[in-house]
Amino acid sequence: MTTLRPLRWTDFLTAYRLASDPDERANARDHTMPTLRGHFRWMRKWVGGRLCKAWTIRVDGKAAGIVRVERRAYPLNEQEMSVVLFPKYRGKRLAQWGIKEVAGTMHAMTMWVTTAYIKKGNRASMGAFRRAGFRFTGRVVNGLSQFVYDGGE
Ligand SMILES: CC(C)(COP(=O)(O)OP(=O)(O)OC[C@H]1O[C@@H](n2cnc3c(N)ncnc32)[C@H](O)[C@@H]1OP(=O)(O)O)[C@@H](O)C(=O)NCCC(=O)NCCS
């Protein structure tokens, strides 16, 4: 069974391993590998944060990845979504499920525009976001293509 649950402090090592994944670092804005101290600060921001929400994607009770949403009031009340899976869970159309669940709920409950910023060569991510209901806006910001969720409308 595939489920989502909010990130907790007990997910510290899971989140650290995901953040240290080479593909995740290559596709993130900040390419530097996390330190434990830096990861502690990261967890403080993401566990129970007001503007940052994160969930673990779980398959049969095991952590498969993390989907998260960070809110920014400027420039357009936007919430940026990102996702990462452990390598053994990739290629199974799992990310799009997590993205769709979170984006759909957010879309129904908030006025925020849900976006994703994806590196040009990251075809796997573009495919997952597209299939989850995002479309490319035509904007490229610092080399990252902007996608927006339209709620399947
Ligand atoms: C991007 C990512 C979340 C996609 O999730 P996913 O559930 O594996 O996506 P899909 O199952 O739809 O597969 C995406 C593509 O990768 C291919 N793929 C297959 N096995 C794979 C594997 N073991 N590893 C990576 N990609 C694989 C699939 O064939 C698919 O190609 P297609 O769209 O042409 O069919 C995942 O690859 C990942 O965690 N990447 C590293 C972090 C990252 O880039 N995050 C996005 C930041 S916005």
Range of the domain at 89: 2-149
**Rounded distance, CA 99 to CA 131, Å?**
9
Please state the rounded mean pLDDT for residues 71-100.
94
Cis peptide before 75 (omega within 30 of 0): yes
**Ligand 1, atom 42, residue with closest C-alpha:** 24
Beta bridge partners, 130, equal none
Give residue 152's pLDDT band: very low, low, confident or very high (50, 70, 90). low
Please report, for the domain that includes residue 43, its CATH number.
Answer: 3.40.630.30
Give the three-state DSSP class for 32: coil
User: Is residue 56 lining ligand 1, measured as CB closer than 6 Å?
Assistant: no
Number of structural domains (the chain) is: 1
| pLDDT tens per residue across span 15-32 | 999 999 999 999 999 999
Q: Containing H/E element for 46?
A: helix 36-46
**HSE of 65, CA atoms in CB hemisphere, 13 A:** 23
Of 30, 31, 80, 90, which is best to mutate to test ligand 1, by the most ligand atoms within 8 angstroms of its C-beta? Answer: 90
